[in-house]
Amino acid sequence: MSKLILLEGNQRMIIETIDYRKGMVRIIDQTLLPGEEIFLNLCTLDEVAEAICSLRVRGAPAIGIAASYGMLLNLDKMLQAESAENPEYIFDREEGMNSFSFPGISIEKIRNCLLEAKKRLETTRPTAVNLFWALNRIFSVLDGEEKDPGRLCELIAREAFNIYTEEVETEIKIGKNGARYIKDGMNILTHCNAGGLATAGYGTALAVLYTAKKEGKEFSVYADETRPLLQGARLTSWELERSGIKVSVLCDNAAASLFAAGKIDIVIAGADRIAANGDVANKIGTLGLAILCKAYRKPLYIAAPLSTFDMNIESGDDIHVEQRSGDEIAYLGGRRVVPENVNIYNPAFDITPAEHISSIITERGVIENPRREQIASFIRR
């Protein structure tokens, strides 16, 4: 069983999705869940990049953390090679930075090391803005006034670890801000996985449900299986069942029948990028749920940290949607289910227009009926 970190008198459970320990990035391999709970120690930049591409680590906030840790890992390896003491590792999230001498280190070497990592990681997942936000945040440490190489390395590590700890705090606030929408007896539909596995450990959309559960509310959740990689069936149901929340899994194309039967009260989902006008990029299939919500007059809530907003993107039309390998659809359980030489359309995300979204739940508060002016004012405050 995976270890859970318990906060505030065992009232909140944080899944150990990702961490930085003793010069390695430690993740739970999400491609093996729910059958196996295997933790991997990623020791190189390429291993981190592969883990992001292969969805061993996934979800916009978790990808951002992984990206920052990938940059730190590259620096860790470079400093090990430069140190006269030949240490096993330089950085650890709990210990900080170990004290070693680096006689050959320079600001220029540090910059080149981080730039190499940044360029490599930028190629992994194009849609989730948190990845680029985290990479830029780490790289921006170089623009500060610190000129001592050793102290600069310490500041870079601190920034990477701050991204993780701030994300945990953000998720808890999102849960508190969104729990108001959950009422006793509700039936709630969610799509893909916006829980602890997609974040620093508590979640965005699922953080709202965890907080409502902690407040004593009783409700039921329907989790779309989320084709083609079944993040809802494999991951969301795994999380919710462990937390004691009643959950049922359904085929994506069964959602409309639930709406028609009056069995859905609200839909809550996460986001991978939010444009300046409020359009949301999220896992493919979210748009279909938004259209159902509009048709059946049910609210759609998006839960996401402020780091998911991209104010440089005017609308969803400008968001680059990742196209993934057709093999994800062509094969099921290792067996080919699509004939050879048939074209496959496999976008990882779709764009939900802001007009279909009732509220966006953030760590700072809730944006009701999100539109460009409201969002700009909310971000500035």
List active site positions.
Answer: 272
Please give the Cα distance from 302 to 313 (Å, whole number). Answer: 18
Write the CB contacts of 159 (distance below 8 Å, at least 6 apart in sequence): 68, 137, 138, 141
12-15 and 331-332 beta bridge pairing: unpaired
Q: Give the three-state DSSP class for 269.
A: strand
Q: Please tell me the distance from the alpha carbon of residue 335 to that of residue 265, in angstroms, as a whole number.
A: 37
Q: What is the DSSP code string of 274-303?
A: EETTS-EEEETTHHHHHHHHHHHT--EEEE
For residues 110 and 153, the answer to whether their CB atoms sit within 8 Å is yes
Nearest to 13 by CA among 2, 21, 4, 22: 4
Structure tokens at 299: 């609210």
CB atoms within 10 A of CB 346: 16
d(CA 253, CA 354): 23
Cis status of the peptide bond prior to 34, with omega within 30 of 0: yes
Name the 3-class secondary structure at 12: strand
CA distance 218 to 212: 8
Alpha-carbon span 265 to 71, nearest angstrom: 43
Of the candidates 174, 117, 124, the residue with the CA atom closest to the CA atom of residue 142: 117
Half-sphere exposure of 357 (CA within 13 A, CB side): 33
